Structure 1
Amino acid sequence: MIDNLPYRQVAVDEVRPGGLLCVADHASNYVPDGIDLGIDPKLLNEHIAVDIGVEGIADRLARRHGIPAHIACVSRLVCDLHRNEDDRSVVPTESDGKLIPGNIGADVEARLNLFHRPYHYELGKLIERLKPRMLIALHSFTPSLDTSDEERPWEVSLLYNKDDRAARHAIRLFGEQGLNVGDNQPYSGKELNATMDRHAEANGIPYCTVEIRQDQIDTKAGQARWAVMLADVLGRVALEV
């Protein structure tokens, strides 16, 4: 986390308004000093703490493909920026069967003030300034959960709530790449779409919430490959919505 900010913005001054903007709510596993989650530090490198591979893709989209990015700089275990403020899991006490004992009895209001509110306030200001044609919400998911034996076969998925106009185009275009594409899988954007509900749907801005399976992007080579594909596919989607 830079200068105690829960976000960083990449290449936001180098593009003209009216393009694409990438948002990465779960890009970091950073735990600020003074917060003790009470967990094995090894868990900070797992999916319960960070969307594996997302930060590298968001950086590449911004620095190499001209798609500016608003990137989280704090772990979702500290404060989940992809939850509404009144969601009980905004400061999670468990995740995928793992107890987060340091969050039991945590000062939720303090964490909202430190992390959640400035993150979303600055994202809102950035959207107002850049007036993006389309938002990209970038996430990743595990091939399976520790609490379930069910395999997740989709290499990439598109999530949406009420506004599916961009997602429909993206599902088709990713399918044309020969990929197994999920439609509101492995969970539904109608149930969890907090950041895009707030910043896209509420403002009538088309968006794609893209979930990439983590074994596709857990290396720099995979991240580079997907950054190229995302820039191409989502650039074409933006022209159709």
Structure 2
Amino acid sequence: MPFSLSTETEAFAPAHLIAGSPAQRLILLCDHASNALPSGYGDLGLSRAHLERHIAYDIGAAQVTRRLSALLDAGAALAGFSRLLIDPNRGEDDPTLVMRVSDGAIIPGNAKVGPVEIASRVERFWRPYRRACVGLVEAALASDRVPVLLGIHSFTPTFKGRARPWSCGVLWDRDPRLAGPLIEGLRAEGVTVGDNEPYDGALKNDSMYELSSARGIPGALIEIRQDELGAPEQSEAWAQRLARILPSILARPETERIEVFGSRADLNPG
């Protein structure tokens, strides 16, 4: 995805919404869809090369989200700004909400950011995106449908010089209703799946905590390795794969009810 800057004449949207079919319970969330920066923030002092790295957005995640939405007629929310501006997948009080250093790269535009500027970014970007996500969930609930939430992210093939062996990871907290059968379905297709790898799915006040765990709504997050999303046909293959697996999960009766399992993040909030 080429890096983009919003201009004064260009409308900037903190969230991009896809309505989906009223009959489709699946809602897709893509927190790190974009590396765009709104007018007034320039390039945060970074080179184009840095802004096209994974530190700025989740490479390939938006393409999979949009294509999967089209295949299943699912609603979706995609953040319209770079995670370097403010991270929409972090809680409002998370110390990593605005990163000053990311994977070895100093972010000059964030170096001296203080509470007033962070509060401004929360109000202008972070909160509108979260509200858009909440709106999709509450619209489903208002029509007597329990939604099923799938967050779509991507991760780097290596970390600290070590190769990551998983083609994807499914991250979840205590609610197994989506995560369990999704892991099974992916493994049945020959995919090497990390179960809460390469990250843990219990993160206090992240998107899935707020929208899924705290509300008792079935949900999970999939992380896809970025070298499997480098070309359009690879993103298409991943979208097609998920479109094959998800309908049978959505048909399970246990996904059609509100059931609060709690969160491991509440037991270890630090």
Range of TM-score over shorter length: over 0.9
Identify the residue that residue 111 of structure 1 maps to in structure 2: 121
- For residues 191 and 81 of structure 1, what CA distance do their matches in structure 2 show? 13
Identify the residue that residue 142 of structure 1 maps to in structure 2: 156
Identify the residue that residue 56 of structure 2 maps to in structure 1: 49
Q: Is the 8 A contact 1:133 1:238 kept in 2?
A: no
What is the aligned counterpart of 1:123 among 133, 153, 170?
A: 133
Q: Given residue 124 of structure 1, which amino acid in structure 2 is its aligned partner?
A: V
Aligned CA distance change for structure 1 residues 34 and 88 (closer, same or farther; 3 Å)? same
Deviation readout 1:6-40 (Å, 9 max, x if unpaired):
11112x1x412451010000000001121141112
Q: Is the 8 A contact 2:91 2:205 kept in 1?
A: no
Q: Given residue 142 of structure 1, which amino acid in structure 2 is its aligned partner?
A: T
Please give the secondary structure, in 1, of the residue aligned with 2:251. helix
Q: Does structure 1 residue 180 correspond to structure 2 residue 186?
A: no
Larger radius of gyration, structure 1 or 2? 2
Q: Is the 8 A contact 1:159 1:167 kept in 2?
A: yes
Please give the secondary structure, in 2, of the residue aligned with 1:224. helix
What is the aligned counterpart of 1:59 among 62, 66, 72?
A: 66
Identify the residue that residue 232 of structure 1 maps to in structure 2: 244
Q: Is the 8 A contact 2:61 2:153 kept in 1?
A: yes
Please give the secondary structure, in 2, of the residue aligned with 1:202. helix
Q: Given residue 122 of structure 1, which amino acid in structure 2 is its aligned partner?
A: A
Aligned CA distance change for structure 1 residues 192 and 180 (closer, same or farther; 3 Å)? farther
Deviation readout 1:34-66 (Å, 9 max, x if unpaired):
114111221111100010101111111222331
What 5-or-longer segments of structure 1 have no aligned partner? none
Q: Is the 8 A contact 1:17 1:129 kept in 2?
A: no
What is the aligned counterpart of 1:3 among 11, 31, 38?
A: 11
What is the aligned counterpart of 2:32 among 3, 21, 26?
A: 26
Deviation readout 1:45-93 (Å, 9 max, x if unpaired):
1100010101111111222331221111100001100000111111111
Q: Does structure 1 residue 212 correspond to structure 2 residue 224?
A: yes
- For residues 159 and 39 of structure 1, what CA distance do their matches in structure 2 show? 31
TM-score (norm 2): 0.83
Please give the secondary structure, in 1, of the residue aligned with 2:158. coil
Please give the secondary structure, in 1, of the residue aligned with 2:17. strand
- Structure 1 stretch displaced more, 160-169 or 196-205: 160-169
Q: Percent of pairs identical after alignment?
A: 35
- For residues 23 and 117 of structure 1, what CA distance do their matches in structure 2 show? 15
Aligned CA distance change for structure 1 residues 178 and 193 (closer, same or farther; 3 Å)? farther
Offset at residue 192 of structure 1 (A): 6.5
Q: Is the 8 A contact 1:135 1:208 kept in 2?
A: yes
Please give the secondary structure, in 2, of the residue aligned with 1:88. coil
- For residues 184 and 64 of structure 1, what CA distance do their matches in structure 2 show? 26
- For residues 192 and 224 of structure 1, what CA distance do their matches in structure 2 show? 32
Q: Is the 8 A contact 2:71 2:243 kept in 1?
A: no
- For residues 148 and 250 of structure 2, what CA distance do their matches in structure 1 show? 6
- For residues 181 and 193 of structure 1, what CA distance do their matches in structure 2 show? 25
- Superposition RMSD in Å: 1.6
Q: Is the 8 A contact 1:138 1:211 kept in 2?
A: yes
Q: Given residue 60 of structure 1, which amino acid in structure 2 is its aligned partner?
A: R
Offset at residue 172 of structure 1 (A): 0.9
- For residues 65 and 125 of structure 1, what CA distance do their matches in structure 2 show? 20
Q: Is the 8 A contact 2:27 2:136 kept in 1?
A: no
The aligned length equals: 237
Deviation readout 1:97-137 (Å, 9 max, x if unpaired):
21112102221001001111111112111211123531010
Q: Given residue 94 of structure 1, which amino acid in structure 2 is its aligned partner?
A: V
What is the aligned counterpart of 2:235 among 219, 223, 229?
A: 223
Aligned CA distance change for structure 1 residues 171 and 19 (closer, same or farther; 3 Å)? same
Identify the residue that residue 156 of structure 1 maps to in structure 2: 168
Please give the secondary structure, in 1, of the residue aligned with 2:71. helix
Identify the residue that residue 91 of structure 1 maps to in structure 2: 98
Please give the secondary structure, in 1, of the residue aligned with 2:57. coil
